[in-house]
Chains A and B, each alone.
Chain A
Amino acid sequence: MAKKTIMLGNEAIARGAFEAGVKLSSAYPGTPSTEISEYLAKYDEVYTEWAPNEKVATEVAIGASISGVRSLACMKHVGLNVASDPLYTFAYTGVNGGSVIVVADDPGLASSQNEQDTRMIARSAHVPVLEPADSQEAKDFVKYGYQLSEEYDTPVILRTTTKLAHSQSTVELCDRIEVEDKEYARDLTKYVMMPASAIGRHLVVEAREKRLADDAADLPVNKMEINDTKIGFITCGIAYQYVKEVCPEASVLKFGLVNPISKKLVEEFVSKVETVYVFEELEPVIEEQIRAWGFDVRGKELFTKQGEYSANLLRRVLFGADEAVFDKQEAPNRPPILCPGCPHRSVFSVLNKLKIHASGDIGCYTLGAVAPLSVIDTTICMGASISALHGMEKARGKEFIKNWVAVIGDSTFLHTGVNSLINMVYNKSTGTVMILDNRTTGMTGHQEHAATGKTLKGEETYAIDLAELCRAIGVKRVIEISSFDVKGLEEVIRESVNGDELTVIIAKAPCVLLKGQKFPNKCVVDPDKCRKCGACMKIGCPAMTRGEDGKVKIDATMCNGCGLCKNYCKFNAIETVER
């Protein structure tokens, strides 16, 4: 009997790729997709890497596919926006070795800036999409994806959602299939997408999609369960689990291939079942297709486009009540915050003191938007901090950005920030860019990147020097400083925003959660010296609270000993002592 174990959806995807004989994987970290690469890196048989961004990762996978091996690229939903340029044309070239792109959507925004639905992009790019409903399917569908990819000569997207990616369920393991490399043959009409070739390939794409739609009724990933014919659900992915939870007796048409969907199956299902609900998270992708065919179904007029679905949501819509017994209690919110000892807090405390606005970016430092630090004014997408600041200056003039900086992390800077900085140099900006260099990709759980000196597999490699990189593209004023040098930061920021020269300030200190980065000391308050002024509380450190007497207390187990609070006590009431 096959070995049964319990796996995170993302681990099962990695296992599926391993079992399918994948030889190359490239990805950029992004919640909820990150762990796929981390698990896959454990298999020696698979070359696995972090790319600087999702566009690069997808192109790496395309190259591997053209050369004849099975390849994988992984990203979160917004990563697909970055990668959509190669994606749209990959649909035209098709594959040589099979290729699967895993894209993780985040309904409910557990860790994202929007709630977009990957199936919409896939439809417009004419790329087939598989969507699993548990870890076992995640593994099986990845493997099936390679079969589809090679049979229909197309890249295949495996779409997951946060609940699928970050839930564990049982999985049966199989052995790896060793797939022979395909022969590579030069083929201008297939791999050189100049107009004359692309015109022909567009027709191929149309024909392929039609063939797949026609074949879809017989694919093993689609499942029709005819039970009670009074009520039925057309559903996919994790939403299927909620249907089974609430209406185990109902009939269900579960699409594993969610683009294109099988008209034949819909026709059959609708003819057998009286009332049909389409139950799909986010956009009405399946529903609109079914309605366009003229079938009468119920969907988004009942079920929201926003957030994660649940069994209770379905209960409320169907029966007007859920299973709750007790009332929800009033409790103060507990939003995520920067960790005690986080170097970003130190930089933000200075920006806050100087009343400077920050054009923000994607990373832990987005948390600097909320009180009490309140310095981040904008967050759009990876890399936008720098370009948006440039836009402000060009639109409103130098004076407008005299109290502005752009802040961006080291990993994000290498992702898409560097091209925005090139634009600033080229178009003569005078703004101040702060790279918050904490030597890791922090928010997603500490992944290596091109400036850390380590690969995903843990091998030593060249570490890009961020200061040299900035100088090389033409930034004359590049200042490197410790993130915890509060006085120095204050001086250099003030000088830079008031100056007339484009400046990059690289504030350096490793993420406090990185191994071996804990400070040797901890901070304590001398209650005799504390005057209850609250100046130290303005840095928003979670280790600091006020006692009943109004004096500040520092929780010894939470304090990481960075000492930032000391800088803000006028009465020398805070000391660092040995841990």
Chain B
Amino acid sequence: MTKNIMIVGVGGQGTLLTSRIIGKAALAEGCDVKISEVHGMAQRGGSVVTFVRFGDKVNEPVVEEGQADVIIAFERLEALRYSHFLKKDGVLVINDCRIDPMTVVIGAKKYPENIIEELKKDHAVYTIDAQSVALELGNSKVLNSVVLGFAAKFIGFDKNVWLGTVETTVPPKTIEINKEAFERGYNAIN
């Protein structure tokens, strides 16, 4: 059975690194893996989405509407935008933060109210304020490790597989703080 993970957010939030860590963890578990990334223009503060699929044999590299087991959203509006990609019993993990798109900044559009409450009506939704946790740890850049740790329980794999993968993926100087950030996210949910 192929497991379908989507990582959505705003260009610059580190969604690419997160998808790579998930892919490497799946590979370490002996799965066939495909990861689809976004590069180039779309990365510049735009809505970005990356995909990780793993299982015995994976064909297409993208997750499509109605297929996602887990969506990891780094921002509320992006969670809303891609929520229709979820399977019926899929899980939506949201980093509870708001980044206004330019369409909202210039007043052309309104940022939707009560996104999380609305999403909870149809989906299993779990939220974390990863920014605060990252700032407590003293480095806002480890935000994605907090989110990853929080989402890891819904993806599966042993915690040590995750920590080992974080260790071999992040810049050497930041290994300890990223592992700590992962733990904080991981322990934020029972």
Residues of A whose CB lies within 8 Å of any CB of B are 5-6, 8, 31-32, 34-35, 110-111, 134, 163, 166-170, 238, 241-242, 244-245, 310-312, 322-339, 364, 366-367, 370-372, 443-445, 537, 540, 542, 544-546, 555, 557-558
Q: Does B176 contact A (CB under 8 A)?
A: no
Cβ proximity bits B39-65 to A, threshold 8 Å, 1 near / 0 not: 111111111000000000011111011
Q: Which of B28-36, B144-152, B153-161, B182-190 contacts A (4 or more CB under 8 A)?
A: B28-36
Q: Does B15 contact A (CB under 8 A)?
A: no
From A34, A322, A337, A364, residue with most partner B Cβ within 10 Å: A337
Q: Which of B34, B62, B100, B110 contacts A545 (CB 8 A)?
A: B100
Assembled-state Cα–Cα distance A326/B65 (Å): 8
What are the residues of chain B within 8 A of A366 when measuring CB–CB?
41
A-B CB contact pairs (8 Å), 7 listed: A166-B39, A167-B36, A168-B61, A242-B59, A325-B88, A334-B102, A364-B44
Write the nearest CB–CB distance from A571 to chain B, whole angstroms: 20
Q: Which of A134, A163, A322 contacts B64 (CB 8 A)?
A: A322
Assembled-state Cα–Cα distance A323/B33 (Å): 21
Q: Does B38 contact A (CB under 8 A)?
A: yes
What are the residues of chain A within 8 A of B37 when measuring CB–CB?
8, 166-168
Contact A324 B65 (CB under 8 A): yes
Assembled-state Cα–Cα distance A255/B37 (Å): 25
Looking at chain A's contact residues, the main secondary structure is loop
Q: Which of A35, A335, A445 contacts B46 (CB 8 A)?
A: A335
Q: Does B87 contact A (CB under 8 A)?
A: yes
Assembled-state Cα–Cα distance A212/B70 (Å): 47
Interface size on B, residues (CB 8 A): 58
Contact B84 A327 (CB under 8 A): yes
Assembled-state Cα–Cα distance A364/B86 (Å): 33
Known: A110-B41, A170-B32, A242-B60. A336 touches B103 (CB 8 A): no
Find the B residue at minimum CB distance from A331: B81
Cβ proximity bits B75-91 to A, threshold 8 Å, 1 near / 0 not: 00110110110111000
What are the residues of chain A within 8 A of B101 when measuring CB–CB?
332-335
Contact B109 A333 (CB under 8 A): yes
Known: A167-B61, A331-B77. A325 touches B86 (CB 8 A): yes
Assembled-state Cα–Cα distance A434/B104 (Å): 30
Given contacts A167-B37, A326-B122, A339-B44, 17 further A-B contacts (CB under 8 A): A5-B27, A6-B35, A31-B40, A111-B39, A167-B34, A241-B60, A312-B64, A312-B66, A325-B86, A325-B87, A329-B81, A331-B77, A334-B77, A336-B42, A372-B102, A372-B106, A545-B104
Contact A371 B106 (CB under 8 A): yes
What are the residues of chain A within 8 A of B34 when measuring CB–CB?
134, 167-169
